[in-house]
Amino acid sequence: MTSGVSTWFCDVAGGAPNDVYAVGYAGTILHYDGTARSTVHTGGPNLRAVWTGPGGIACAAGENGTLLRFDGSTWSPMSSVTTTTLWAVWGSSANDVFVVGGQGTILHSDGSTVTPMTSGTNQSLRGVWGPAPNSVIVVGDNGTVLLHDGSDWQVTSGSAHGYLSAVSGTSATDV
């Protein structure tokens, strides 16, 4: 399938075979509805990550602290309270979304407000995922691994080395 646009794409996510988004340079967001692809947003800083959640909601993040939220019908900018590049986004629901980025940036959205969180590191954070709202894992540069228990972030001292750019799993014991 061709994209129909001449831009680079950085991430893709889908909540269902008929609800898939791809994000990339120049603020481009494409949507695939199971039959056809359409461009739903262009313009603005490069987008680096997208997450889709229940009920057709989605969130995209990128350079200069760009955060966009899709409420099921419209993409709207959110105040991200940072200007650093945001590399990854994941949520357990529309009201519990985590966004990570450069210089140890972690943001949390409750669906209406974006709040910065203290990460305990200044490393760039590049991946985020969780098996539950009170169990979130973040990975990043120089082997950084952070665990969130629902209230605080803990920097782990594991054996990870190098640059970790993604994290995923199926449960708390399969990451």
Residue with token string 């952070």: 146
| pLDDT for the residue numbered 158 | 65
Judge whether 165 lies within some domain. Answer: no
Q: Classify residue 4: in a domain, yes or no.
A: no
Q: Is residue 175 part of a domain?
A: no
Residue 161 pLDDT exceeds 80: no
Query: Could you give the number of structural domains in the chain?
Result: 1
Residue 3 lies in a domain: no
CA 113 – CA 38 distance, rounded (Å):
29
CATH number at residue 17: 2.130.10.10
Distance (Å, rounded) from C-alpha 47 to C-alpha 64? Answer: 10
- Reported pTM: 0.93
Does some domain include residue 166?
no
Residue 37 lies in a domain: yes
Higher pLDDT residue, 69 or 172?
69
Q: Does the residue 168 lie in any domain?
A: no
- The whole-angstrom separation of Cα 42 and Cα 23 is 10
pLDDT of residue 72: 86
Cα gap 137→107, rounded to integer Å: 14
pLDDT digits (tens, 9 = 90+) for 80-102: 799 999 999 999 999 999 999 99
Per-residue pLDDT for 64 more than 90?
yes
**Pick from 82, 117, 118: which is nearest to 102 by CA?**
82
Residue 103, domain extent: 9-155
